[in-house]
Structure 1
Amino acid sequence: MGFFERYLSVWVALAIVAGVLLGLAVPGLFQAVAALDYAHVNLAVAVFIWLMVYPMMIQIDFTAIRDVGRKPRGLALTLVINWLIKPFTMAALGWLFFQGLFAPLVDPQTASEYIAGMILLGVAPCTAMVFVWSHLTRGDANYTLVQVAANDLIMVFAFAPIAALLLGVSHITVPWDTLLLSVVLYVVLPLIAGFVTRQALVRGGGEARVASFVHSLKPVSVMGLLATVVVLFGFQAQTILARPMAIVLIAIPLLIQTYGIFAITYWLARRLRLVHNVAGPAALIGTSNFFELAVAVAISLFGLHSGAALATVVGVLVEVPVMLSLVAIVNRTPGWFAQPEQA
């Protein structure tokens, strides 16, 4: 591992602190960056995420994607976790904590909104950052692409009815502009750019040239991740200081959900005898969230300053540091699984 990757947790911690301090010191700058927003997708954040996703897209070999169909267990595991387990465990934890354990600390209306925000996070599996986590665990790029594409396709049909069921409302309006723009920005465009780049590199020097170029982009990818963290925490610096107790209360069940879903998925991946570079991304995909979609729906249903919107924002804040801890677990446990050459 390179210098940046070896101490990535340290850099992220420093980026969190820097984001909060800068958000307090120069709030006007972050307000201006926040205004670069279309369909609840911040374009500055989109650029940084694009920098993270692009190197992995270069590694995708379209001629090998058909091989994914010969190993369907990893894909099946991801879909079962994301659509039959994760939304319901998130709802259960929300009700347990805010209708039970934390009920004396939060008024009933706010508690209901916190639960709603958590549910929206649970019904929105991640589209963009999944590629980053897979890349950091040396995941199978082709398999990860298929997993993300399958989730996005199911999300078009399943997000609204599952969210409506768990929220107890009759109808959920899916913000199609947010969903489609995110998929185009985070998947389609970097995939096209990666394909074009890969073709040029293969013609110029074969797979060795591809590997060398991807390796050279690792510092750029890490810087994109750190910039994303700074911006996200800078956006929410005022909220973090103004409502620290609310953030802590929401973060507790979210952390339990995140680590719990990861543990279940990783254990099942081992039981299914998945290879490590499929098992790791499968567990991470089932753990992370599509926060742009969750935030957009929370705002449309409950309002910009609602408890539901705050809950989705807390989901954004805890995701990167928590997911990096899970990446570390995956990278330390390859011996639990078969390796690709053994499969």
Structure 2
Amino acid sequence: MQHVEAVSDVSATPRLSTLDRWLPVWIGLAMIGGLLLGRFVPGVADLLAGLEVGGISVPIALGLLVMMYPVLAKVRYDKVTAVTGDKRLLISSLVLNWLVGPALMFVLAWTFLPDLPEYRTGLILVGLARCIAMVVIWNDLACGDREAAAVLVAINSVFQVVAFSLLGWFYLTVLPGWLGLHTEGLEISVWQITLNVLIFLGVPLAAGFASRHLGERRRGRVWYEAEFLPRVGPWALYGLLFTIVLLFALQGDQIAQHPWDVVRIAVPLLVYFAIMWCTGLLAGRALGLNYARSTTLAFTAAGNNFELAIAVAIGTFGAASGQALAGVVGPLIEVPVLVGLVYVSLWAARRWFGTDPRAAGRMSP
């Protein structure tokens, strides 16, 4: 979703653009704007309800698709096979992303939100949506292995089309039943989740793959990444902010009546990001990976694709649902936390790995 300002020297430390640097502020302002819109402009909810197709608001759906496309247009799909050369990185990343991450979020959601099933479900959806976008930014800022990050992002992008629905069914219906947990009558349709994954991930994934293939074929990779991507990249942020405004316009009454619910959603997210990042970095070090690949493993494990989680929550449960609100809180917490972890990672490069982080990262264009 985010982009890095161009630098003339590819070995230089990348910088966040002005838009990205102030992302938590923009999200906060969008939330406030949505709350004001819902409170002082009557009929917003009725208007959005009148523009629904199949239970999904068309304006929100468009915002979600605009939000997802630039993220997936950035993926270098031709690099997927390159990761097979490092089995340690591949296997550890798959384990952390598709076994440890979802299981940890499930535990945290039930631990911190046992009495709030809608928010709990929203958090579990966040845990199932593995990061395919901002991890590239955090990895670059921490001087990680850029090509390894691109490969893992590509693998997660393709893997999510199938894995998200199956894991959603398992963690939202099967596992709670095995453990005797009460879901308070919450009904989950695996087919509805699958349909929304195919729409909100499959469509932009196909568009992103097609634009990269056609763009590189006609104009080359340098033009595609230096000219095309910077033009479409900001639209991901615009789509996110537009969606957040509409969501909070619908969620205004619920938030005003239960402001501490937002705080309760934030706490397990903070714990999740910290545990996943530390586990990834320590696992990389224990496996003998160098700093660049260890930090790449850490950030790909800690980040989440909140765009997909929001889209599935809206499509499955509705824009005014608690599940959607939990998804929206995700980026508000994730962005500042992972920015802080970039600095921790740079410190760890010298203290734990005994290396200069700028020299360690493979900053290939």
TM-score band (shorter)? 0.7 to 0.9
Report whether the alignment pairs 1:13 with 2:28. yes
Is this contact kept in 1: 2:38–2:252, CA < 8 A? yes
Equivalent position amino acid for 2:155 in 1: V
Specify whether residues 284 and 118 from structure 1 end up closer, same or farther in structure 2 by C-alpha distance, changes over 3 A only.
Answer: same
Residue aligning to 2:362: 340
Gaps of 5+ in 1: 100-110
Distance in 2 between residues matched to 1:154 and 1:294, nearest whole Å: 16
Residue aligning to 1:103: none
Task: Tell me by how many angstroms 1:209 deviates.
Answer: 0.8
Specify whether residues 197 and 292 from structure 1 end up closer, same or farther in structure 2 by C-alpha distance, changes over 3 A only.
Answer: closer
Q: Which structure is higher in helix share?
A: 1
Equivalent position amino acid for 2:192 in 1: D
Task: Tell me by how many angstroms 1:243 deviates.
Answer: 2.0
Is this contact kept in 2: 1:123–1:159, CA < 8 A? yes
Distance in 2 between residues matched to 1:196 and 1:288, nearest whole Å: 20
Is this contact kept in 1: 2:135–2:299, CA < 8 A? yes
Is this contact kept in 2: 1:120–1:294, CA < 8 A? yes
Residue aligning to 2:5: none
Distance in 1 between residues matched to 2:316 and 2:72, nearest whole Å: 29
Partner residue of 1:284 out of 288, 296, 303: 303
Task: Tell me by how many angstroms 1:236 deviates.
Answer: 0.9
Distance in 2 between residues matched to 1:78 and 1:286, nearest whole Å: 15
Normalised to the residue count of structure 2, the TM-score between the two structures is 0.70
Residue aligning to 2:207: 193
SS in 1 for 2:220: helix
Residue aligning to 2:330: 319
Is this contact kept in 2: 1:19–1:232, CA < 8 A? yes
Distance in 1 between residues matched to 2:311 and 2:219, nearest whole Å: 39
Distance in 2 between residues matched to 1:55 and 1:295, nearest whole Å: 20
Residue aligning to 1:108: none
Gaps of 5+ in 2: 1-15, 141-145, 350-356
Residue aligning to 1:147: 156
CA RMSD of aligned residues (A): 3.8
Report whether the alignment pairs 1:179 with 2:209. no
SS in 1 for 2:303: helix
* Alpha-carbon displacement from aligned partner over 1:100-122 (angstroms, at most 9, x marks no partner): xxxxxxxxxxx2xx257525632
Task: Tell me by how many angstroms 1:319 deviates.
Answer: 0.7
Q: Any residues of structure 2 matched to 1:230-241 within 5 Å, and which?
A: 230-241=245-256
Is this contact kept in 2: 1:82–1:286, CA < 8 A? no
Is this contact kept in 2: 1:91–1:115, CA < 8 A? no
Residue aligning to 1:165: 175
Normalised to the residue count of structure 1, the TM-score between the two structures is 0.74
Residue aligning to 1:329: 340
Is this contact kept in 2: 1:58–1:195, CA < 8 A? yes
Q: Percent identity?
A: 23
Specify whether residues 89 and 298 from structure 1 end up closer, same or farther in structure 2 by C-alpha distance, changes over 3 A only.
Answer: farther
* Alpha-carbon displacement from aligned partner over 1:36-73 (angstroms, at most 9, x marks no partner): 45566544333223333323433333332221333444
Q: Any residues of structure 2 matched to 1:1-343 within 5 Å, and which?
A: 1-33=16-48, 36-37=51-52, 42-94=57-109, 96-97=111-112, 111=115, 114=116, 117-118=119-120, 121-122=123-124, 125-127=127-129, 130-134=131-135, 136-137=137-138, 140-163=149-172, 164-167=174-177, 168=180, 174-186=189-201, 188-211=202-225, 212-269=227-284, 271-272=286-287, 273=289, 274=293, 276-277=295-296, 279-285=298-304, 290-293=309-312, 310=322, 312-329=323-340, 331-332=342-343, 335=346, 336=349, 338-340=360-362
* Alpha-carbon displacement from aligned partner over 1:49-98 (angstroms, at most 9, x marks no partner): 33333234333333322213334444434443355434544454455446
Distance in 1 between residues matched to 2:128 and 2:56, nearest whole Å: 14
Is this contact kept in 2: 1:31–1:235, CA < 8 A? no
SS in 2 for 1:315: helix
Task: Tell me by how many angstroms 1:240 deviates.
Answer: 0.4
